[in-house]
Amino acid sequence: MIALSESFVKHSLKRNCLTIITFHPLILLMCKERCAARDDLFLLQFPPMIAHLYGTVTRHRPGEVTVDVGGVGYRVSVPLDVWEQLEEETTTKLWIFTYVREDRFDLFGFLTPQSRTLFEELLGIPGIGPRTALEICSVPRSLIGMAIQEQDSSPLTAIKGVGKKTAEKLLLELKSLAEKLPALFADTGTGSTRPAFDPDAVAALETLGYDAPTIAHALKSLPSDLATTEERVAAALRSL
């Protein structure tokens, strides 16, 4: 395997014929213009495939961590709930999705292969980019399952970047995805998509302007002895 340097590529592109195989986004960008202008150059691109990273975690701003693997630090974007679970300077395994475009090269990390698969499937939905997909992955599966079961798109509008029309389309896509891959939406504790949150409490907090990850985090930490929606909402507001 030969690592292509910038000078090597520039020199080779002056020759009559060259097939370039590259994994490097910067080399790819440099080659694309020249290859588009000539019919004797062929660019064969293979996207980087990092299945997982296992190393020491350092947390940065919410949603971003660095994973130190053998002295090399990888900056990884993670769902907010994952970021909250990760502890400083602990050894963690993150399942990685590599997102490559002409102007970006990003790593997204998840605690389970199922979460990574959900992220990949969300990227296949028209209008859903990596940031919105990551926001959706921050929402507990039970809350998404509740929206699917009740055919109610309103909880989805609490997700950052998702408006009313997008939420309605997204709900249809999620329903189809749940039918195809139900395990992606199963609650990790019960193996069920049965709602784990009081839907009226969720709706009340949405009305007050809180987003879905914040609502889920607040409701998840409530004591189990709260009997009414009013008690749950009041306790959630005290914790926010």
CATH number at residue 91: 2.40.50.140
CA distance 29 to 207: 46
Q: Are 131 and 177 in the same domain?
A: yes
> Cβ-count burial of 224 within 10 angstroms (0-12 exposed, 13-18 middle, 19+ buried)?
exposed
Q: Where are the alpha helices (DSSP H) in the chain?
A: 6-13, 25-37, 80-85, 113-123, 130-137, 141-150, 164-180, 199-207, 212-220, 229-239
Residue 19 forms part of a structural domain: yes
pLDDT of residue 4: 46
- Are 148 and 229 contained in the same domain? yes
* 95 in the same domain as 70: yes
Is 27 in the same domain as 66?
A: no
DSSP 55: E
DSSP secondary structure code for residue 224 in this structure: T
Total tally of structural domains belonging to the chain: 3
Q: What are the tokens at 191?
A: 């193996």
Predicted structure pTM score: 0.65
Same domain? 127 vs 212: yes
In the prediction, which pLDDT does 201 show?
80
Classify each residue of 2-29 as buried b or exposed e, where b means 16 or more C-beta atoms within 10 Å of its C-beta: eebeeeebeeebeeeebebebebbebbe
- For residues 70-79, give the mean pLDDT: 94
- Of the given ranges (127-131, 164-168, 204-208, 211-215), which has the lowest mean pLDDT? 211-215
Are 86 and 133 within one domain?
A: no
* Pair (170, 230) in one structural domain: yes
123 plus 235 within the same structural domain: yes
For residue 1, being part of any structural domain is answered with no
Domain that holds residue 69: 52-111
Identify the pLDDT of residue 183: 85
- More confident position, 207 or 26: 207
Q: Do 195 and 135 fall into the same domain?
A: yes
Query: Comparing 118 with 201, which gets the higher pLDDT?
Result: 118
